[in-house]
Every structure is written in C-alpha cells, then in structure tokens.
Amino acid sequence: MNCIIIEDEIPAQKILKSFIGKMPSIILVDTFKAAIEANTFLNNNTVDVVFLDINLPDMSGLDFIKTIKNPPAIIMTTAYPEYAVNSFELDTIVDYLVKPFSFDRFLKAVNKAKDRIEISENIPEENNDDTIFLNVDKTLHKIDLSTILYIESDRNYITIVTETQKLSYIDSLKNWTEKLPENQFIQVHKSYIINRKFVDKLSGNTIFVKANKIPIGRTYKQTLLKVLGI
C-alpha cells in the first residue's frame, strides 16, 4: 500500500513517519501541510491510504474529503475526540486516531484500511456500464442505474433512491451527473436528479417521480419542460 500524510503539525508528522517506517507493507509517497497542496497531488496521482488531520490551515479535513474524486481509504488524525462521531458517518473514513496514539492503535487502523482496500479490489467486474457497486456502511451494493428513481443531495451526502432501497453516503451531485446516462436522467433542482422514465406528473413547481414529490428549481424548469416535450 502507498500513502500520503496531510498534517500541518511537525511533531505529528514525525510520529506518523516513524510508525509508517516500521511497516514494510506501507510506502510513504509524500507529506503535505495543507489540503490545497494535497489536492493538487491527488488530482494527478493515486494512493491507497491518506492520513488526514481534521484541523488544517486552509480547510477542515472533513471538508477536504468531499473534494477528492474517488477518495482512497482515509484515516483521520486529530486531538479532538468529539469529531469522531461525525467523521465515522463518512463512508470513506476507515478509522479515527486521537492524538497521541500508540503504535498498536496505529496498526489497528492500518489493518482496517487494508481490509477496505481488499474489499474494493474484489468488487466483481461488470461488462454492463449501467451497473455499478456502491460501498455503503461497509457493504457492497449492486445498483442498476436504470432502476434509480432519483438522487438527492444534502450537504456532503447524497441519497440514491430506487423502488426497493435508499443508500446514503458522502459524495456530490456533480459527480453523479458525470456517471448517469444523459438521455435518461435530468437535474431538476440544485439538490435533485431524476430518472425521466419514472415521471408520473408535474404540478406547478413539483414533479412526481413514482409518487415521490420532487421540487423543481426555477433555473431548471425550462430545460426540464423541453426535455419532457412539454
């Protein structure tokens, strides 16, 4: 596994480097003091694990996560244990290390990351581009894109809604606009993308998707009406 450290405190950097150096299975690729520097690196490189501090000089580690496309396994580090509850809600985070942490605790976190990576590598390959796997709550869910009714965005999370399930995890609506077939899905609101084939009716600024009421944003309405041939 290869990794990077994003940590602005030099003593904390040294501890992580020391622990990583004791494990031949992990290769430290680079170390960054700020999220922006790391973001530039990750836009051009891939790593397996990121050791990420929550309190960074330019943005919080939790905010930084949502800027990463296809985020790797992330191990959070911080001196503030109260952040742990919120951070564990983010599916990409595999563990949370509260400073100061021991090598034993560090090793446990690394093993969790290793398990996550092995699961990802064993995702079945699909020849059908309309089928994807989502890792939500440490479970792989197979989703046929054509069965999605709508996708809702709420701050850092999105919820994928089909007729049989709802899956919520950290991601952005923008990422999904790039994944979905343009001829089938359309954004109708800053927080919603719908599947055209499941539209039942429109009423004012509301569109009904299999009886689910979805608001229509003012800037999206004309395009929506044109796409639906109204």
- pLDDT tens for the chain, residues 1 to 230: 999 999 999 999 999 999 999 998 899 999 999 999 899 899 888 899 999 998 898 888 888 888 887 788 999 998 877 655 454 456 678 888 998 999 999 999 999 888 877 766 654 444 446 788 888 877 888 888 889 999 999 877 899 999 899 999 888 888 888 778 888 899 999 999 999 999 999 999 999 999 899 999 999 999 998 888 77
> Two tokens at 178?
């790039």
In CATH terms, the superfamily for domain 2-121 is Response regulator (3.40.50.2300)
How far apart are the C-alpha atoms of 173 and 211, rounded to whole Å? 22
Fold of 131-227: OB fold (Dihydrolipoamide Acetyltransferase, E2P) (2.40.50)
Closest by CA to 51, choosing from 18, 82, 24, is: 18
Local structure of residue 176 (DSSP, 8 states): H
**Model pLDDT, residue 193:** 96
3-class secondary-structure state, position 142: strand
**Model pLDDT, residue 28:** 96
**Model pLDDT, residue 83:** 58
The identity of residue 156, as a single letter, is: N
How far apart are the C-alpha atoms of 33 and 182, rounded to whole Å? 39
Q: Taking the model in full, what pTM does it have?
A: 0.56
What are the start-end ranges of the H helices in 60-124? 61-65, 84-88, 103-121
Residues 26/51, Cβ–Cβ less than 8 Å: no
Sheet holding 199-203, edge to edge: 199-203, 206-209, 212-215
The identity of residue 93, as a single letter, is: I
Maximum CA extent, the chain? 65
Q: Where in the chain is the domain with CATH 3.40.50.2300?
A: 2-121
Q: Would you give the distance in Å from CA 50 to the centre of its chain?
A: 14
Q: Where in the chain is the domain with CATH 2.40.50.1020?
A: 131-227
> Two tokens at 158?
């999105």
